[in-house]
Structure 1
């Protein structure tokens, strides 16, 4: 019998990862509020449930569950909206996991927004987490809640995710409205987020508490924008500039723990060609 995997928050990353997991032999169940609006490949079952409803979440575990992947997104980009999207579901899941005779393996997809460094420091999984935004604070609180459950939890802190369907920055650069500031930036392709999730699930011996999911080359914002501009066939010479570090801070992220698992990045750095 195939091991059953629940994906709570079946969105873009879930849709990219699900075919990999099906090939690995998982029975994938995608959980979202409106499954009729989603498409699922063969081998993936979509079910309706709210991550904010503990009764509905508990019912998902009427059958044995070997693994859970959690990718939550807010509907409201306010402090309370982040709290409802990140912290409340994790509290419910903590209660559900604590009542199970055999809690599942859990991967919780978070963000490097939990770090607040602003001076270009090198940051790894052991660095201080002092978020400076509401979203970062609520993500860190949610991490701590889910890690306090009876399940074996790995938190995946992703840097800026790019790839097909994530067009905002490209549009801003093409329109000439993106602002260049003197900050370090870090990125990860959506295919590598999916690939690393599949890799961890295929290799349960890799179960560190936290992984930084980022590529191998932090870039100054100017250099990152120049590479994206080259893909678009435009220049960055006319882009506005600022001498202030933005809300996302300025840091260089280390992916040594990720690489130590044996995962090979599909996109080890941001390309300057049309490859996306």
Structure 2
């Protein structure tokens, strides 16, 4: 039975876990507060801090076939992203060098590493020019984990939506959202989990970088209009600006992801 460590056990890991259990994997979920997580049959939860090399060394005393890394910032400052992403990746890189057979690693990152602002089409070969502290730290963490001797795939996810991710819906509903001329890109949380499981179940597919996004980049106005229609409200009263916000403006190609054969559950918003 193959064995996977889900390092970080938030929403995406919790959606991935039952998919792997169903496929016959032994699943270990590691987080700081396992007692607060919902129990899933077939998933063993353990207490561990990704910032602690001691905790990671203890976990890796067990042989894993794969590690899925889903981290969060300790806070939303530059240092918070450094502590939340770069430091754990440095510990892991160091520990991977000490293993005879390093496991496969799937590292969940963000398309925030792309800072482009002119609506251009981007793919995995496009230059990474983050223009935010968070994007810079995410890119640094990617480079660190890619420098390990493990077989690593970095999954750069666009704006994740789905159950429990309601902030934008609330802003559109209460009229506080602001429409800019930016292009936006989205991916449903079930498709992030689905693609993680798909790559582990189909190991012949391996690229160092995958953009994980749906089939249809949308202008922000069009995205908001679709969400508003689902909510039964109008965007006519929302404020508008001519300035592109901190997330930039870009259109992301998911051709490499689709070339693996993965079928999106939510191909568009």
What TM bracket, shorter-length normalisation? over 0.9
Q: Which residue of 1 aligns with 2:217?
A: 218
Please list, as runs of the form range in 1=range in 2, the aligned pairs for 1:184-203 lying within 5 A after superposition: 184-203=183-202
Whether 1:29 aligns to 2:25 is no
Please list, as runs of the form range in 1=range in 2, the aligned pairs for 1:121-200 lying within 5 A after superposition: 121-200=120-199
Once residues 40 and 148 of structure 1 are traced to their aligned partners in structure 2, the CA distance between those partners, rounded to angstroms, is 34
Once residues 25 and 101 of structure 1 are traced to their aligned partners in structure 2, the CA distance between those partners, rounded to angstroms, is 25
Deviation digits for residues 31-90 of structure 1, max 9, x if unmatched? 000101111311100000110111110111222110000000012110100000000000
Once residues 121 and 224 of structure 1 are traced to their aligned partners in structure 2, the CA distance between those partners, rounded to angstroms, is 18
Deviation digits for residues 90-133 of structure 1, max 9, x if unmatched? 00000111100000000000000000110000000000000011
Q: Which residue of 2 aligns with 1:116?
A: 115
Once residues 3 and 201 of structure 2 are traced to their aligned partners in structure 1, the CA distance between those partners, rounded to angstroms, is 13
Once residues 179 and 71 of structure 2 are traced to their aligned partners in structure 1, the CA distance between those partners, rounded to angstroms, is 29
Once residues 165 and 128 of structure 2 are traced to their aligned partners in structure 1, the CA distance between those partners, rounded to angstroms, is 27
Local SS of the residue matching 1:31: strand
Local SS of the residue matching 2:179: coil
Whether 1:253 aligns to 2:252 is yes
Local SS of the residue matching 1:212: strand
RMSD: 0.5
How many residues are treated as equivalent by the alignment? 269
Poorly superposed stretches of 4+, deviation over 6 Å: none
Q: Which residue of 2 aligns with 1:267?
A: 266
Once residues 59 and 98 of structure 1 are traced to their aligned partners in structure 2, the CA distance between those partners, rounded to angstroms, is 15
Once residues 9 and 42 of structure 2 are traced to their aligned partners in structure 1, the CA distance between those partners, rounded to angstroms, is 14
Contact 2:74/2:83 (8 A) holds in 1: no
Deviation digits for residues 208-248 of structure 1, max 9, x if unmatched? 00000000000000000000000000000000000001000
Once residues 72 and 63 of structure 1 are traced to their aligned partners in structure 2, the CA distance between those partners, rounded to angstroms, is 21
TM-score by length of 1: 0.97
Local SS of the residue matching 2:214: coil
Unaligned runs of 5+ in 1: 271-276
How far residue 162 of structure 1 moved from its aligned partner, in angstroms, is 0.2
Q: Which residue of 2 aligns with 1:273?
A: none
Q: Which residue of 2 aligns with 1:9?
A: 8
Once residues 207 and 174 of structure 1 are traced to their aligned partners in structure 2, the CA distance between those partners, rounded to angstroms, is 41
Q: Which residue of 2 aligns with 1:70?
A: 69
